[in-house]
Homo-oligomer: A and B are copies of this chain.
């Protein structure tokens, strides 16, 4: 995987209530305006199996749609093309026809409804009640029970759902209620990983919710492609400020095919299910700061806003060629320092720039963030970047040549992104 996944996820704008029509129009927008910039995943978030879902809230003990084997299937009132037992296949085929990829959200475990009805587990003689782990529940959603990995039939249930997803043409699974539930649910996570590996179709595995546990970093790297390092992220400066500390801690675990995930981008037209005219509360400076951090640390870029309501700034930021290059070519990124300078708290990151073609590195990025305090004027010390004899430096956002011998200015909550090259 050349760079971390990019795409769109329905949660930030439609919560638990997105409809097929909305998914299709966002996919069409992505194909027209963002595909060339590398965005490809269209992901339907939680509760697609609940006919009555209306916004971001969960309904305790909701009546969910399941098939005869206790597997969740799309609510037909919300996803009409799924009628007649077709599941997500027609919608996935539509997305694929646009040159994009299709993803869905799942919760670990088995529906409580399957337990109440004691459905058989496909291909086995056991039933839902025999594999459900009675004391393993999600604390914020009542749809499922956990599955006891020790029970006969547990593996087969997970195999059966991935078999179904493969048949539908799913390319991306966001599995919830598992990421921060370690070490308790480690065996269940491994069952999920193995079911995905064995299903015959290549899929991205994304783990939620955060914060992930740093002492389990190698496990996340081994079994998934991305894992949430934070609780839900929204358009609030405090949350963005808090991300710097998490990014610092997780930086060295980003690599080819496995990426710490700073969560979706709450940009543009989010929270649509509550207020159709709502726009992100982040200032433009903060939006840029977020994108610089996400791209440098190689977090996935999953846009949360309704795409068709993008304004030019939002679309421009999401597809900015300098940022896209950073996201694709940043390597070995890490924080250099975080310190108080006068009234400001300044954070410096750096990363290598992979050569566009061929092997090796042909540049070094540096990002400076004004994490607290008013507009700052800062002189960068090249020795902090361990770059000696710097030749050229570009301001990536503006593509202008800059000399670091003079102080640079950074807006409140703002950032500056530079690229040094040599020879």
Give the B-binding residues of A (Cβ under 8 A). 60-61, 112-113, 115-116, 118, 129-130, 132, 134-135, 137, 139-140, 142, 218, 221-222, 248, 251-252, 255-257, 331-332, 334-339, 350, 352, 354-355, 358-361, 363-364, 383-384, 386-391, 420-423
A128: nearest residue on chain B (CB-CB)? B61
- List 20 contacting pairs A-B, 8 Å CB cutoff, sorted by A: A60-B129, A61-B115, A61-B118, A116-B116, A137-B137, A221-B337, A251-B252, A252-B335, A255-B337, A255-B386, A257-B383, A332-B334, A332-B350, A332-B352, A334-B334, A354-B386, A355-B422, A359-B420, A359-B422, A360-B423
The residue on B at minimum CB distance from A59 is B129
Majority-rule SS of A interface residues: mixed
Chain B residues with Cβ under 8 A from A222's Cβ? 339
Partner of A132 from the list B61, B113, B255, B383 (CB cut-off 8 Å) is B61
Q: How far is the CA of A249 from the CA of B383 in the complex (A)?
A: 23
Contact of A422 among B255, B339, B360 (CB under 8 A): B360
A330 to chain B, nearest CB (A): 10
Cα distance, A336 to B361, chains bound together (Å): 17
Q: Determine how close the nearest CB of chain B comes to the CB of A185; give it in whole angstroms.
A: 16
Q: Contacts of A390 on B, CB cut-off 8 Å?
A: 359
Q: Check A361/B361 contact, CB under 8 A, given A60-B129, A218-B337.
A: yes
A358 pairs with B389, CB closer than 8 A: yes
CB distance from A244 to the nearest CB of B (A): 12
A364 contacts across to B, CB distance below 8 A: 360-361
Q: Are A359 and B116 in contact (CB under 8 A)?
A: no
Assess the B334–A61 pair: CB atoms within 8 A: no
Nearest CB of chain B from residue A142's CB, rounded to whole Å: 4
Q: Is there an interface contact between A359 and B252, defined as CB atoms closer than 8 Å?
A: no
B residues in contact with A135, CB < 8 Å: 137, 139-140
Cβ contact within 8 Å between A255 and B61: no
* Given A132-B61, A360-B387, A422-B358, CB of A252 within 8 Å of CB of B255: no
Q: Cβ of B391 and Cβ of A423 under 8 Å apart?
A: no
Bound CA–CA A309/B367 (angstroms)? 49
- Whether A61 contacts B134 by the Cβ 8 Å rule is yes
Residues of B within 8 A of A354 (CB): 386, 388
CB distance from A161 to the nearest CB of B (A): 20
9 nearest A-B pairs in the assembled complex, by CB-CB distance: A360-B422, A252-B334, A359-B422, A116-B116, A359-B389, A134-B142, A61-B129, A332-B332, A135-B139
Specify which chain B residues have a CB less than 8 angstroms from the CB of A335 in the assembled complex. Answer: 252
Question: Least Cβ distance of A366 to chain B in Å?
Answer: 12
CB distance from A277 to the nearest CB of B (A): 33
A383–B350 Cα distance when bound, in Å, is 21
Residues of B within 8 A of A363 (CB): 360
Contacts of A421 in B (CB 8 A): 360
Tell me the complex Cα distance, A360–B334, Å.
Answer: 17
Q: Assess A255 versus B358: contact at CB under 8 Å? Given A61-B129, A118-B61, A218-B338.
A: no
CA distance A358 to B390 in the complex (A): 8
Interface centre among A252, A390, A391 (most CB of B within 10 A): A252
Instruction: State in angstroms the CA–CA spacing of A338 and B221 once bound together.
Output: 10
Known: A61-B134, A118-B61, A339-B218. A359 touches B332 (CB 8 A): no
Assembly CA distance A9 to B390 (angstroms): 36
Contact B359 A391 (CB under 8 A): yes
Inside 8 A of A331's CB, which chain B residues have their CB? 386
Q: Provide the bound-state CA to CA distance between A133 and B251, in Å.
A: 39
A339 to B130, CA, bound (A): 34
